[in-house]
Chains A and B, each alone.
Chain A
């Protein structure tokens, strides 16, 4: 372990961060002169550059040295053990987003972490990682990070901060912590909580508060209502045959999504021995989970509450023993209503009851507490506790600090009463994301001394007296405890890049102790021998999952809460607040990969918007379209679905918000969905000018009623990667239901008709050696986008900026094609990952005039960047349009790019920031402008494994090579391997009945094939739907 800490590798002397040049460089490029992504067509820039080029061309002739500067490569004087230059090393660590912990395995090239993978040993992810985890490595290298402590906005050294805080700590100690308040974001680290507890013990009058705008407090509170103690549910979707989700996006963003996606998708296979599961989904805004549902109901948040009551009444009445609740709920059946027909409800409930303990009802964190209490009762009545559901202790700060919303209100009140003289904010961004009535900015400014520990300068640090850089998770020692109780270790992959502190060291300093985070962590595991500790570091797991709680739901408290519920009456327009799929609560706002990630449903990049249904938009005068409201998706012209959208003024609780409005198929009527995390005004260069800040209308509750939405003049330009909604009746994504599949397993293959495929010449057989292929199971794919970011970080794919995305120039090698089927209002969403299909008869290869794209003996459609001159003909001839062209030099156009660090004629040209360069995968070429690029099946991974296997004189085993997308896929939808090996996973999948080739009529002989999706609808509901 200490061996890891002691490493400090450098590529050149300039990399050594202590040198004067680097300090100067840091100063020079700090975001004072931040530039947004430039308009590529700026004449002004062009003229400027032309002028500069002429001037420099002249100058270089006489005065400047046009040779490249000398860069020395120095060997290790004593090489670290196990480090072979050119061979990556992997370390286990973990990361948390709120309460959600994922075990990670991070790839390190000569001391630089480059790529994040899931840790297969961690029970919450078992090898998968989602888009946030994948993209976190970019946050580490973000040049807009806070680099040195700032005192009243002036740069200070870490030593100066330590001196100050140790001095202040002595005073706090004297006062027993009176006047000192700590505001922390959710932290599931046992080490952190230990330091916090000892601080509280030493400073008894210390006030500890917490705040997260996105939290699970409602679930915890709801379970406290029925069980009398805090708890969180942990679902086992592998054991659940029937699932009813009340706005729970458990496959997308909810707590535990990695584990749930894996377990759920295992049951989406019609060949699964336990048969397929069935998902009923009620939600207002389309989610990836909604896309997988067998029956989806678009309901407003209040109607979902109504559905919870209606289902509870039916289930509890049927099971018996809950007559008090049933009669207590009777009062609401007239007010909170789902609007679903009685037959539909009966069908759902009897389906749930028929599976008994193998049924599960889950509710989303945005549902009020009483719904969670009710759901716990229903699950108990169904008998699912212990089968498909267990309850676990809350490992976050809820038990010690209480719920987030009251806590921040308490703090705000304490500050107003001038009880706080020093405020320590650990992480988070409360000035930006607290409810508007808290007015935290004013409160914070009223505190004489405030300290904010933050990775990036943000709205909160802007008003703090001291801004202290926070170490990224890949730079610090620590631990995290997942909901199932598993404790995983956090170990640094790199020395802190800047003068930063980890959370534990920082808190220890507040307590007057200058301790490093490793010592603070190791203290907690003193019982572990060095050998055992080394094993912990190797596996990344400190202790296996903890025992579940014994949980008995009682009805008394819930009844009194339900009794206190007011009849809402007509509620007008409801607003539903949700975390954003890309930037979450705003913490990832400066992450270019995530900003440019198309939202899985709306395909919106670089922005958020208010989402409404067509009916609601029409009612409010926000629908530019003429024609029928509920028209088939086919008839919706893509020109109307994208680019310019309307602006509107949303008023709720007396607060106003200007936002773009977009029509979303399948959205609930009379509901507006707002997404957190955008419109940050104190943010780095990437996150600037993105979206609309919805926190000014956020009152603390995820659902608010009585809103109005008025059209404003003008339009807003959005960048959407997929304008077209329908599939035009083409057999691209193929789907059937269980009955169809049982009747004709080959249905998918028969969905496309074409003439016999006869080749005029003898085709190459590709029947020896390794022949790589891929199978994508559409039944399992949720569209969560993890593969997309995994691919981006593996393959050095640049971001292009909003304007370029709006013009269809995004560079993602793998994309998720999202189509809607049916009518616009009751649209069914499907997701199809599309990447280069690696056709054996590749149309692109045929037409390249310079043979820059050719076929390898292993069946790969290779791309030779050096040879490519950029005629773009290959892309025109690609039937699936997966080729990506570097229209401009996107790495240079990144807003964080810096002037090239060399003395040369073209010195004024830019390159990615030095720190960002460290993220690049050294095994993948960084492409320049003017060349075509595309998915290579991660050929660099194939090659490096082939070399290892060859050296060891053996064949490559199945599963030894994983493409980046297949490796991270949380739902195991992608399989990659040698198709000639009949025992390989990919070959077995391809042998299934559901296997089909997209556009097979073109005789592409593609190596990527798809497995048709199968849904498992309730036959009773099917009949109901058909009749209605």
Chain B
């Protein structure tokens, strides 16, 4: 084989940062939104987000005050929009760690311009998810029974319950993601501290940058810590959604009790996470003028991942039907036929078209590189993935073993408002992040610029 092809010559690769950027200009571009006055659109956006956040808080207050009966749940369908939205947010929270950790370990350098952004999204999405899992219980005030609190009664949780595994999986994932995000932020916070024009900024960024001076030892420790955290979170990327899928797969309900669930859920989570990163990234790229750092190459790569994971999800849909038929289990077969042709057929076909059909358009390079189309598709995928969780959760429950208990489920205004409100929480946090933290990892982007190469500027010796 030709040696030239195998050699990974960085100079031959596509440039990850376009334009005529220097280290200084990168810092300037990324820090500009933080250091300048808040633009009007940001204030309007924040106001709108906080309004929705308040809507969320009042819905939660109402919920705790009156009981979960304010939702539309009923006897067979004991989980509805609460669990659907929980899984939806957890899924979205998947892309961040994948981009940060797995792509980091695989030395996918293009990740540097989107990882911070994706990680922030992860953390906020997991917060939304956590909120749902905390508030979906009937007695919120004793939800702490879930934790293994030492007590004189020797009452412990039930370690056989997937819901308990889920709790640990999500909280671990959240903790690691937060640490990972924060560790990555430290050099950039120091940059902000050094550039700070006001005393408050100096003090606040100073505290959070933990005395970072960019010393050699600092960098050594930083790199090691970052590597360790990346290694720790890599299995989590796979485990957290696998365990979320156990909530369903470890039960005996037809439509839930499926061995395909863990990989299927993970693929779906990456699918939806990338779509959400895409949606937010396209907006930020436009607004903050980050086109040099988030290039079409990035976008196209992400679209390829969306196409790949979307196809996996489509395969899973098909496999579910095949296995339902092949197993010869009449209840299982009924559950799937009922999904596609029963009272919730509208939800099923919404899901299939959003998740399977639309991403297939990315086979065409023209579509894959068209910003408006990819924006629309990313939103369609998000809608589709919400419906996927709805289809799994609700259609399986509403018609199970005994036809006597079958019942149709529809949400109430409380569930709808709470769902909208969770976007309020997400966007409030996200807008605050955009305003006060560097949305692109400054130090990492600098690290992949040609200037960072110790041999930069040297002439090749043939």
A→B interface (CB under 8 Å) = 40-41, 46, 49-50, 637-639, 722-724, 726-730, 732, 804, 807-810, 815, 817-819, 832, 834, 843, 845-851, 867-873, 875-877, 879-881, 884-889, 928-932, 999, 1002
Contact = CB atoms under 8 A, between A and B. Distances in A.
Contacts of B407: 723, 807-808
B138 A850 contact: no
Contacts of B405: 722, 808, 880-881
Interface in B397-442: 397, 400-408, 412-414
B65 A49 contact: yes
Interface string B297-330: 0000000000000000000000000000000001
12 contacts: A847-B158, A847-B161, A849-B157, A849-B158, A869-B142, A872-B73, A876-B79, A876-B253, A877-B253, A880-B401, A889-B67, A930-B68
B398 to A, nearest CB: 10
A851 B155 contact: yes
B222 interface: no
Contacts of A928: 139
A421 B70 CA distance: 56
B402 A809 contact: no
Nearest to A634: B403
Given A726-B403, A877-B252, A804 B69 contact: yes
Contacts of B164: 849
Interface string B41-77: 0000000000000000000011001111110111111
B447 interface: no
Contact of B139 (A810, A817, A869, A876): A869
Interface string B228-241: 00000000000000
B137 interface: yes
Contacts, number: 181
Instruction: Name the 6 nearest CB pairs between A and B, nearest first.
Output: A870-B138, A930-B138, A887-B69, A808-B74, A888-B69, A817-B404
Most interface-central of A804, A872, A999, A1002 (chain B CB within 10 A) = A872
Contacts of B158: 845-851
A41 B155 CA distance: 36
A872 B138 contact: yes
A877 B251 contact: yes
User: Which residue, A637, A808, A884, has most C-beta atoms of chain B within 10 A?
Assistant: A808
Contacts of A871: 136-138, 163
A876 B167 CA distance: 18
A732 B407 CA distance: 18
A639 B70 CA distance: 23
Nearest to A854: B158
Given A639-B343, A849-B163, A872-B78, A1002 B252 contact: yes
B146 interface: yes
If over half of A's interface residues share one DSSP class (helix, strand or loop), that class is named, otherwise mixed; here it is: loop
B155 to A, nearest CB: 7
A887 B65 contact: no
Contact of A867 (B76, B136, B145, B413): B145
A887 B69 CA distance: 4
Contacts of A832: 404
A876 to B, nearest CB: 5
Contact of A807 (B74, B156, B330, B331): B74
A818 B404 contact: yes
B145 A638 contact: no
B263 interface: no
B69 A876 contact: no
B401 A873 contact: no
Contact of A929 (B67, B155, B414): B67
B75 A851 contact: no
Contacts of A730: 330-331, 401, 403
Interface in B253-306: 253
A652 to B, nearest CB: 35
A726 to B, nearest CB: 7
B67 A888 contact: yes
B408 A887 contact: no
Interface string B150-188: 000001111011111001000000000000000000000
B404 A834 contact: yes
B157 A843 contact: no
Contacts of A817: 402, 404
B102 interface: no
A848 B164 CA distance: 8
A848 B62 CA distance: 26
A809 B404 contact: no
B137 A870 contact: yes
B143 interface: yes
A850 B145 contact: yes
A748 B142 CA distance: 46
A845 B156 CA distance: 14
B75 A808 contact: yes
A1010 to B, nearest CB: 13
B404 A929 contact: no
A881 B76 contact: yes
A1003 to B, nearest CB: 9
A823 B72 CA distance: 33
A809 B69 contact: yes
Given A50-B61, A877-B251, A999 B78 contact: no
A724 B65 contact: no
A503 to B, nearest CB: 43
B397 A732 contact: no
A880 B69 contact: no
B403 A875 contact: no
A881 B400 contact: yes
B250 interface: yes
B375 interface: no
Contact of A46 (B65, B140, B402): B65
Nearest to B61: A50
B406 A872 contact: no
B163 A724 contact: no
Contacts of A727: 403
Contacts of A879: 252-253, 400-402
A851 B156 contact: yes
Nearest to A638: B406
Contacts of B67: 886-889, 929-930
